[in-house]
Copies of this chain bind each other. A is one copy, B any other.
């Protein structure tokens, strides 16, 4: 039984709020931490820095981006959180990978939870990874479950001198991350579009009951996708409108742009949902129609031959005194009767438009 399909959240009931428990699958053996400290002039990278290094980064004047990959080492997450003075509820939410995407404003920093999706071609399934961002004035913490790093291209761009990323602060960096996540939604949507087209073709060519399972899969995938994307609309909207000094005015056009992309994704999901439920109707109708076709064939054959068989059976009776049997006209007349029955039936079916 696929226990990850519908998320498990329990096992926490009765615990004091703020109790740190890792909820979710362990996706990496060892937590990897990558810190990158940069401003317009200089850049400094450090793999798995010590806590004191992190403290230095934080109190420094430049921007620091700390990427934590792997969430099962609770103690480590806790001490990083303390280092950047994160509320205990935030630490609890980072560790619980069954969160709904959300944004929370803690005055000094914003806490954002999102879902990074990608499509596993082999399993024909959507994989989901929780990305949590803590965006402060001069620091950005990103938490992810596994070590395959979707944000690596950003590091490349930071390293490039005079790139926009290098010149801007943590707010533009956060926007870039949201942008990458939203772009990935379109990759997943394109895969689903391909599958929808395949199913539509098959519905036309040869509808089989297996297709039902595929349609159900598409439906639940779309429901799942919608749950991940829908709240993002509100998150970005709040980033745009909230009167927070963390996000600069020059970043706002970019946020509006990614907001439009999110609306577009939501729109596409709704369109796909409409199309997929239309496909179920078509499947059901074509099954009904096929049943009709089968019944027509049966009925035509049966209604022609049943009376004829009765006729033949009748003159197979062994009564001694059946005058027709002995008459020389008996057999020819029966042949004529059989022909008349057959043709009148055929005419009847023609008028019913069955043949």
Contacts of A99 in B (CB 8 A): 260, 264
A202 to B25, CA, bound (A): 26
The DSSP consensus for interface residues of chain A is helix
A183 to B10, CA, bound (A): 7
Q: Name the residue on B nearest A163 (C-beta).
A: B16
Chain A 316-337 near chain B by CB (<8 Å), digits 1 or 0: 1111111011101011001000
Q: Is A291 an interface residue (CB 8 A)?
A: yes
Chain A 323-355 near chain B by CB (<8 Å), digits 1 or 0: 011101011001000000000000000001110
**Given A6-B197, A253-B106, A284–B285 Cβ distance below 8 Å?**
yes
The smallest C-beta distance from A170 to any residue of chain B, in angstroms, reads 16
**Given A257-B93, A278-B219, A283-B285, A317–B318 Cβ distance below 8 Å?**
yes
Q: Is A76 an interface residue (CB 8 A)?
A: no
Contacts of A220 in B (CB 8 A): 275, 278
Q: Is A256 an interface residue (CB 8 A)?
A: yes
Q: Is A180 an interface residue (CB 8 A)?
A: yes
Q: Is A28 an interface residue (CB 8 A)?
A: no
Contacts of A256 in B (CB 8 A): 104
A153 to B16, CA, bound (A): 9
Contact B183 A12 (CB under 8 A): yes
- Give how many copies assemble into the complex: 5
Q: Is A26 an interface residue (CB 8 A)?
A: no
Most B CB atoms within 10 A — which of A15, A176, A212?
A212
Contacts of A87 in B (CB 8 A): 253
Q: Is A303 an interface residue (CB 8 A)?
A: yes
**Given A212-B286, A303-B297, A312-B317, A5–B223 Cβ distance below 8 Å?**
no
Contact of A288 among B106, B284, B352 (CB under 8 A): B284
Q: Is A13 an interface residue (CB 8 A)?
A: yes
Contact A5 B285 (CB under 8 A): no
A-B pairs with beta carbons under 8 Å apart, 27 shown: A1-B201, A5-B197, A8-B190, A12-B186, A16-B157, A16-B165, A17-B179, A17-B254, A89-B253, A89-B254, A212-B282, A216-B278, A216-B282, A283-B285, A288-B291, A293-B352, A298-B302, A301-B306, A302-B303, A315-B318, A315-B319, A316-B316, A316-B317, A317-B318, A318-B322, A319-B324, A319-B331
13 more A-B residue pairs beyond the given contacts A7-B193, A288-B291, with a C-beta to C-beta distance below 8 A: A16-B165, A216-B282, A294-B295, A294-B299, A298-B298, A298-B299, A302-B302, A302-B306, A309-B310, A315-B318, A315-B319, A320-B325, A320-B330
